[in-house]
Chains A and B, each alone.
Chain A
Amino acid sequence: MGIVSPGFQGRPRSAEPALPAGQYLTQDFPVLSAGPTPRVSLDTWEFVISTEGGVEYRWSWDELRGLPQDTPTVDIHCVTRWSKLGTSWQGVSLDTLLEGIGTAAHYAQAHSYGGYTTNLPLADLRGGRAWVAHTYDGAPLPAEHGGPARLLVPHLYFWKSAKWVRGIRLTTTDQPGFWETAGYHDYGDPWREQRYQGD
């Protein structure tokens, strides 16, 4: 990667490109939606990580909230070309969720309430770069932005940050998801402008 979000370095923003190529800055938070917004009750909400061997690890809403919480402030980049800088979230790091889970998988596929899926290398969920986020700007994440909880993987295009996330399947082979099987790039690094297949 080699590119750290400006702001964390104490350097002026002008020292580094603030936006990846082809992006424009927005102050609002556009709502993108490929289907009806699922309404998930917190009583029945669950998050499940399943391993390639079929072992499942489950968290209820209260269990997730009981884990150590992070408060990342990150820049987000949507493949539809808007970027939003310095967004504030609260959630649980995937490092925390994956801790103690035995796996030899190299890939992960996130799946959501409502049926959405997206894939990424398991390594991209580790290293303090990915969260299950439930709070945005100090308030519970609204359903139209993916609440009760969404995946937050800001170093990749935002379609990888699955809204309404329900779980992650750890797999030995790459399993392209909803947009990755319909022309979008398998990895989606905004700093390399990996929008479409072959980019």
Chain B
Amino acid sequence: MTDMSYLDGNMLDGPLRELFAVDLSTATGRCEHCGMIGPMAALQVYPHAPGLVGRCPNCAGVMLRLVRSPDRAWLDLRGVTYLQVPMPLDQPHPRPL
């Protein structure tokens, strides 16, 4: 039986835009569970739950949890070892001393 209960990670764009100035749907993430590196837009997102659950497309491990109450939001990224975010070249950025 095919599991059609998830959406692709592009749907996270709106919900995460509320929290971050950067567009995380263009970010690359590394899965804490299996080590796969890939676009966050490729996560499999389960929306019919108390929060949004984003799972690794390779191992189905939980990479992201986003819970929204009327006045607060919780973002749990413990399943992501890093996020790589594209940055404009002409922007000042901190360098090692």
Contact = CB atoms under 8 A, between A and B. Distances in A.
B69 A196 contact: yes
Measured as residues with beta carbon below 8 angstroms from the partner, the interface class of chain A is 20 to 34
B46 A34 contact: yes
Contacts of A183: 51, 67, 69, 72-74
Interface residue SS majority, chain A: loop
B58 to A, nearest CB: 13
A178 B55 CA distance: 14
B3 A36 contact: yes
Interface string A169-199: 0000000001101111000000000011000
Given A182-B76, A183-B72, A183-B74, A35 B48 contact: no
A79 B48 contact: no
B31 interface: no
Contacts of A196: 67, 69, 72
A179 B48 contact: no
B50 A80 contact: yes
A37 B3 contact: yes
A181 B46 contact: no
Interface in A22-75: 30-37
A159 interface: yes
Given A35-B60, A196-B72, A184 B46 contact: no
Interface of B: 3, 5, 46, 48-51, 53, 55, 60, 62, 65, 67, 69, 72-74, 76
Nearest first, the 10 A-B pairs at minimum CB distance are A183-B74, A183-B67, A182-B65, A34-B49, A34-B53, A196-B69, A182-B76, A36-B3, A182-B67, A32-B49
9 contacts: A34-B51, A35-B53, A35-B60, A37-B3, A37-B5, A182-B74, A183-B73, A196-B67, A196-B72
